[in-house]
Amino acid sequence: SNAAALGSNIIGVGVDQELISAVPSHNPTFVARNFTDAEITYCRVQPSPASSFAARWAGKEAVFKSLGVKSSGAAAAMKDIEILNNADGVPSVQLHGEAKLKAEERGVVKVLISLSHSETVAIAFAQATTSA
Protein backbone atom coordinates (compact mmCIF):
# COMPACT_ATOMS: atom_id res chain seq x y z
CA SER A 1 0.00 0.00 0.00
CA ASN A 2 1.05 3.55 -0.51
CA ALA A 3 1.52 5.84 2.39
CA ALA A 4 1.38 9.41 1.31
CA ALA A 5 4.42 11.32 2.41
CA LEU A 6 3.20 14.07 4.65
CA GLY A 7 4.85 16.79 6.62
CA SER A 8 8.03 18.56 5.92
CA ASN A 9 11.51 18.81 7.30
CA ILE A 10 13.27 22.03 8.06
CA ILE A 11 16.87 21.60 7.00
CA GLY A 12 18.13 25.03 7.93
CA VAL A 13 17.28 28.39 9.41
CA GLY A 14 18.93 31.74 8.86
CA VAL A 15 18.84 35.04 10.66
CA ASP A 16 20.55 38.25 9.60
CA GLN A 17 20.63 41.90 10.54
CA GLU A 18 22.03 44.88 8.67
CA LEU A 19 22.47 48.51 9.55
CA ILE A 20 20.38 50.30 6.93
CA SER A 21 23.15 52.90 6.55
CA ALA A 22 25.63 50.11 5.73
CA VAL A 23 23.75 48.93 2.63
CA PRO A 24 24.76 51.33 -0.19
CA SER A 25 21.42 51.38 -1.97
CA HIS A 26 22.14 54.87 -3.34
CA ASN A 27 24.86 53.28 -5.49
CA PRO A 28 23.34 52.18 -8.84
CA THR A 29 26.15 49.70 -9.56
CA PHE A 30 25.65 48.00 -6.20
CA VAL A 31 21.91 47.85 -6.72
CA ALA A 32 22.08 46.53 -10.29
CA ARG A 33 24.57 43.87 -9.26
CA ASN A 34 22.67 42.53 -6.25
CA PHE A 35 18.96 43.04 -6.86
CA THR A 36 16.69 41.81 -9.63
CA ASP A 37 14.68 44.22 -11.77
CA ALA A 38 11.49 43.28 -9.94
CA GLU A 39 13.12 43.82 -6.55
CA ILE A 40 14.42 47.22 -7.64
CA THR A 41 11.03 48.26 -8.96
CA TYR A 42 9.40 47.24 -5.68
CA CYS A 43 11.93 48.90 -3.38
CA ARG A 44 12.00 52.20 -5.32
CA VAL A 45 8.31 52.87 -4.62
CA GLN A 46 8.35 51.99 -0.93
CA PRO A 47 8.09 54.75 1.73
CA SER A 48 11.78 54.24 2.53
CA PRO A 49 13.64 52.65 -0.40
CA ALA A 50 16.87 52.43 1.63
CA SER A 51 15.08 50.43 4.32
CA SER A 52 13.48 48.13 1.77
CA PHE A 53 16.77 47.45 0.01
CA ALA A 54 18.47 46.79 3.36
CA ALA A 55 15.69 44.43 4.47
CA ARG A 56 16.03 42.49 1.21
CA TRP A 57 19.79 42.38 1.60
CA ALA A 58 19.35 40.92 5.09
CA GLY A 59 16.81 38.52 3.61
CA LYS A 60 19.23 37.29 0.97
CA GLU A 61 21.90 36.68 3.61
CA ALA A 62 19.37 34.82 5.78
CA VAL A 63 18.36 32.63 2.83
CA PHE A 64 22.01 31.73 2.14
CA LYS A 65 22.39 30.76 5.79
CA SER A 66 19.22 28.63 5.71
CA LEU A 67 20.60 26.75 2.71
CA GLY A 68 23.87 26.07 4.53
CA VAL A 69 25.78 28.08 1.92
CA LYS A 70 28.61 30.30 3.01
CA SER A 71 27.83 33.77 1.75
CA SER A 72 30.47 36.44 1.41
CA GLY A 73 28.26 39.47 1.06
CA ALA A 74 28.58 41.14 -2.30
CA ALA A 75 30.92 38.38 -3.47
CA ALA A 76 28.04 35.89 -3.33
CA ALA A 77 25.43 35.77 -6.05
CA MET A 78 22.92 37.83 -4.10
CA LYS A 79 20.86 38.28 -7.23
CA ASP A 80 20.20 34.51 -7.24
CA ILE A 81 17.98 35.06 -4.20
CA GLU A 82 14.94 37.04 -5.27
CA ILE A 83 12.51 38.25 -2.62
CA LEU A 84 9.20 39.62 -3.88
CA ASN A 85 6.02 40.50 -2.05
CA ASN A 86 2.66 39.09 -3.06
CA ALA A 87 -0.54 41.16 -3.19
CA ASP A 88 -0.99 40.75 0.59
CA GLY A 89 2.49 42.11 1.23
CA VAL A 90 3.86 38.70 2.18
CA PRO A 91 7.44 38.25 0.94
CA SER A 92 8.33 35.06 -0.89
CA VAL A 93 11.63 33.66 -2.13
CA GLN A 94 12.51 32.65 -5.68
CA LEU A 95 15.86 30.96 -6.22
CA HIS A 96 17.90 31.24 -9.40
CA GLY A 97 21.29 30.05 -10.66
CA GLU A 98 23.74 28.54 -8.20
CA ALA A 99 21.48 29.09 -5.21
CA LYS A 100 18.72 27.14 -6.92
CA LEU A 101 21.09 24.28 -7.75
CA LYS A 102 22.40 24.18 -4.19
CA ALA A 103 18.85 24.11 -2.83
CA GLU A 104 17.85 21.31 -5.19
CA GLU A 105 20.89 19.26 -4.19
CA ARG A 106 19.72 19.46 -0.60
CA GLY A 107 16.09 18.67 -1.47
CA VAL A 108 14.80 22.10 -0.54
CA VAL A 109 11.40 22.80 -2.03
CA LYS A 110 10.52 26.01 -0.23
CA VAL A 111 12.23 28.82 1.60
CA LEU A 112 10.03 30.87 3.90
CA ILE A 113 11.12 34.41 4.70
CA SER A 114 10.14 37.30 6.91
CA LEU A 115 11.62 40.81 6.95
CA SER A 116 11.48 43.71 9.39
CA HIS A 117 13.10 47.08 9.68
CA SER A 118 13.24 49.85 12.24
CA GLU A 119 14.60 53.33 11.54
CA THR A 120 18.18 52.05 11.58
CA VAL A 121 18.29 48.25 11.40
CA ALA A 122 16.86 45.62 9.05
CA ILE A 123 16.47 42.02 10.19
CA ALA A 124 15.40 38.90 8.33
CA PHE A 125 14.57 35.30 9.09
CA ALA A 126 14.56 32.42 6.58
CA GLN A 127 13.68 28.75 6.83
CA ALA A 128 14.50 26.10 4.22
CA THR A 129 12.09 23.18 3.99
CA THR A 130 12.11 19.84 2.20
CA SER A 131 9.07 17.78 1.47
CA ALA A 132 9.27 14.67 3.63
Query: Where along the sequence are the contacts to a second copy (CB under 8 A)?
Result: 1-10, 12-19, 61-62, 65-66, 68-70, 88-90, 112-119, 121, 123-127, 129, 132
- Please choose, from the candidates 122, 126, 95, the residue with its C-alpha nearest in 3D space to the C-alpha of residue 112: 126
What is the residue type of 8?
S
Smallest gap from Cβ 75 to a second copy, in A, equals: 14
CA-to-CA dists, residue 33 to 10, 19, 30, 40, 110, angstroms: 30, 19, 5, 11, 24
- Please choose, from the candidates 30, 33, 29, 31, the residue with its C-alpha nearest in 3D space to the C-alpha of residue 41: 31
SS3 assignment, position 31: helix
Smallest gap from Cβ 26 to a second copy, in A, equals: 20
Smallest gap from Cβ 86 to a second copy, in A, equals: 8
| Closer Cβ to a second copy, 32 or 46, answer by number | 46
Smallest gap from Cβ 130 to a second copy, in A, equals: 10
| Closer Cβ to a second copy, 15 or 40, answer by number | 15
| Closer Cβ to a second copy, 32 or 101, answer by number | 101
| Closer Cβ to a second copy, 37 or 46, answer by number | 46
Give the Cα separation of 110 and 97 in Å (integer).
16
